[in-house]
Chains A and B, each alone.
Chain A
Amino acid sequence: MSENYSIPAPKKHPLSLQIDPALFEKATDEEKKQTDVMAESTTFFKDGMRRLRKNPLAVFSFWVLVVLIMIMLFAPMVVPYSYEEIITVEGVRDKGAANLAPFQYSAKEQAYMDKYGVRIFPHIMGTDELCRDYFIRVVYGTRVSFLVGIFASLMVLVIGTIYGAISGYFGGKVDLIMMRIVDIIYSLPDLLVIILLSVVFKETMDFSSVPVVGKLGTNMVSMFIVFGLLYWVGMARMVRGEIMGIKQNEYVLAAKSMGASGSRIIRRHILPNCLSVIIIMTAQEIPAAIFTESYLSFIGLGVALPMPSLGSLANAARSGMQSYPWKLVFPAASIVLIVLAFNLIGDAMRDAFDPKLKN
C-alpha cells in the first residue's frame, strides 16, 4: 500500500485498526455538499412501480391480462364468425353444427373442406346449441365483463372519492351526516338492492336513443349505475379515513396559514397523499364488479340477449352440463382467470404502494 503514496505509512501491527491520518485529505466544499443529499431521486410513483415489477405474481397476472385483452380486441377481426349468427356454409345455414366439441367440424363443413381442399377456421371452443361459434361468444362475454368492471369501478372511483374527500375534509357535523348516509347504504343487503334496481331499470329506462351509451344496451348501462350507486360507499369510507389522518399533518396547516382555499388543499395536499389508497381500492373494485356482473347475468338479470356475458353463458351451459361440460368450463375459467389476475394485481399494488396496509 505505502508505495503508492509519497508519505510513508508508519510501521504498525498488520491487524491494527489504527488509521494513518496522513493518507486522508480534507473534503472540498463540493464533496461535502454531495453527501448532503445522498439518496437517488425517486418519485413516489417510480418507487411503487419498481416494487411492483419485483413481484412475480403481479408481473405474471399482468401478462395474463395483456393476453386476454389482446384476444378480446383482435379475435373478432380474425375469427370469421359472429357472436349472434348461425354458422353458414356456402351461404346456407348449417343446422347440423349445434353443440360441436372444440375443434370439431360439422358434417357439412367437413364435406365443404373435402370438396375444395381448404381449411375452415376451427371452432376453438366448439359451438352452442344454436349453432353459433362458442369461442367468439366467450370473447364477447369477456369484453362485457371488462367493460362493466372498468366502468363500474370508475364510477365508484369518482363518486366515492369526491364524497369521501368532502366528508373527511370538512369533518364535524357534515362528516357525521354524510357518514350516517354511508352507513345506511352500507347496511343494505347488496344483492337484494342490485336485483331490485336492475329490475326497475330494466322496466323503466331506455338508453337506446342516447348515442354511444345506447349501443351498450339498457341493461349494461343500468348495471353501471347499480354498481356506482352501491359500491362507492366502501371507497368513500376509505378515502374519508385516510383524509382524516392526512389532515392532521402540519403541511395542511401550513397551506391554510398561507391562505390556500379548501379546494386547493384537497387537490394539492390531500388527494395526492391518499392516491395510493384510491388506486388500490379501484384495482380491487374491478374484480368485485366483474364478479357481480357475472353473478347477475347468471341469474338472468345481466346484459340483454343476444349479447353474451360470461355469466349468462355459464347459465345456458348448465342444462347440458353432463353432455357438453366444456361449455361451462370455458366461461367459468375465463371469469376465474380475470378475477384472479385483477385481484393479484390489486394486492400487489397495495403492497407496492402502501406497505402500511399490508396485514
Chain B
Amino acid sequence: MSEPETKKSEYLVEVKDLKEWFPVKTGWFHTTPLKAVDGVSFNIKAGETLGLVGESGCGKTTVGRTLLRLYEPTGGEFYFNGELVTEKNIHPLRKQMQMVFQDPYSSLNPRMTVEDIIGEPLDIHHLYSSRQERHDKIMHLMELVGLNAEHATRYAHEFSGGQRQRIGIARALAVDPKFIVCDEPVSALDVSIQAQVINMFEELQEKLGVAYLFIAHDLLVVRHISKRVAVMYLGRIVEIADTDDLYDHPIHPYTLSLLSAVPIPDPKTARASKRIILEGDVPSPLHMPSGCPFRTRCRYATEQCAKEAPALKDRGGNHFVACWNK
C-alpha cells in the first residue's frame, strides 16, 4: 500500500463496538430492534486466527456478515489494515476479505460448474487478461485445496459435502485475500472429514499468510486452529483470551459451562463431578434480560448482575472477561 502510513496499526482487523440490530415487526406499527450483535470488539493480526464460539443464535454469523457488509452495521467501526471500512470503499476491499459459508450445499450455485464458481471473484474483479490465465488460476486453486482438476467442468451437486466446502474455500482464495471469515465451515460435515478440512485451513494459512475469523459453536473445533478465542453470548463477547489460557483457565461462567459440555476423550480423566449443566434456554434476543445477558442462567448471579451489564475487563495476560462475580 502506497498510502500515507499515518494510521498503520499492528492489527489487520480491528473491530470496535460493532452493533447490528435488525428491526423486527412486533405489531402493526411497532418494530423492536433485535440486537443480534450488540457492541462487539476484537482485533486480529495478519496471518492469525481468532476463534469465535457460542451457542446457536448468539449472533456469530451476523458478526461475520456485518464485517463483509452483507448487512449494514447499526453502529461501531471496522478498520481493515488501518483503514476505516465504509459503504464507499468496500468494493475494492472485497478483494482482500472473503467468506466461507456454513452450508456447503446452499453456498454453491447448482447451475454453475466448479470452474465458474471458483472463477467468479476473478470475473468480478477482472483479475486476468486472457481465458488461459483464468483457467490456469482456477486449476492452481483447485490443486491448492486438494480437488481433482479434471472435475472443473462438473456441477457442484456432484460433489460430497467435504469437497463442496473445498470448492467454497478455493472460491474465497481466488482473489488472494488477507482475511477470511469462516462461518462454521465444518459443522455441516462428517466428523471424519472435519479434521481434514480444518487441517487444510491451517496449511493454507501457513502457505498464504491469511488471517481467519473462525466461527464455530463448539470449543474443540477452534482450539486447534486459533491463536485467540472469543466466546459470545447473546450478541456480546463475554470472554476473550489466548487459546491455551482460555482452555486452561476459563473464568466466565458461560465459558466454564461450554467447556464442561465438551466431550472428553478419556472417561477416566473426565471432570464428571465438576460438570456444569446449563439450565434453561437462551433468552430471545428480542427480550434481553437487563444487566448481564447471561444472568437468567448463571449460578453466580447477584443483584448487581440484574442492574448493570459488566464490561470486558483485562484480568491480566490479555485475558478479558465480562463478569461481576468471577
Contacts and interface: CB of A to CB of B under 8 A. Distances in A.
Interface of A: 33, 36-37, 39, 41, 43-44, 249-251, 253-260, 264, 268-269, 272-273, 275
B290 interface: no
Contact of B109 (A36, A259, A273): A273
A43 B99 contact: no
A37 B94 contact: no
A41 B115 CA distance: 14
B108 interface: yes
A259 B125 contact: yes
B163 A257 contact: no
Contact of A258 (B103, B106, B124, B155): B124
Interface stretch (B30-38, B146-154, B236-244): B146-154
Given A41-B155, A43-B155, A272-B111, A258 B148 contact: no
A251 B68 CA distance: 15
Given A254-B99, A256-B70, A258-B94, A249 B106 contact: yes
B68 A257 contact: yes
A250 B110 CA distance: 12
- Chain A binding surface SS class: helix
Nearest to A249: B106
Given A36-B148, A256-B70, A258-B94, A251 B124 contact: no
B62 interface: no
B106 A250 contact: yes
A36 B106 contact: no
29 contacts: A36-B163, A37-B148, A37-B151, A37-B154, A37-B163, A41-B158, A44-B111, A249-B106, A249-B109, A250-B101, A250-B103, A250-B106, A253-B70, A253-B101, A253-B107, A254-B99, A254-B168, A255-B120, A257-B68, A257-B70, A257-B98, A258-B120, A259-B94, A259-B125, A260-B124, A268-B120, A269-B109, A272-B109, A273-B110
Task: Report which residue of A37, A250, A253, A256 has the largest number of chain B beta carbons within 10 angstroms of its beta carbon.
Answer: A250
Contacts of A44: 110-111, 155
A161 to B, nearest CB: 16
Nearest to B122: A258
B65 interface: yes
Nearest to B108: A251
A214 B245 CA distance: 83
A254 B168 CA distance: 9
Given A250-B101, A268-B112, A39 B158 contact: yes
Given A41-B154, A255-B120, A259-B124, A273 B163 contact: no
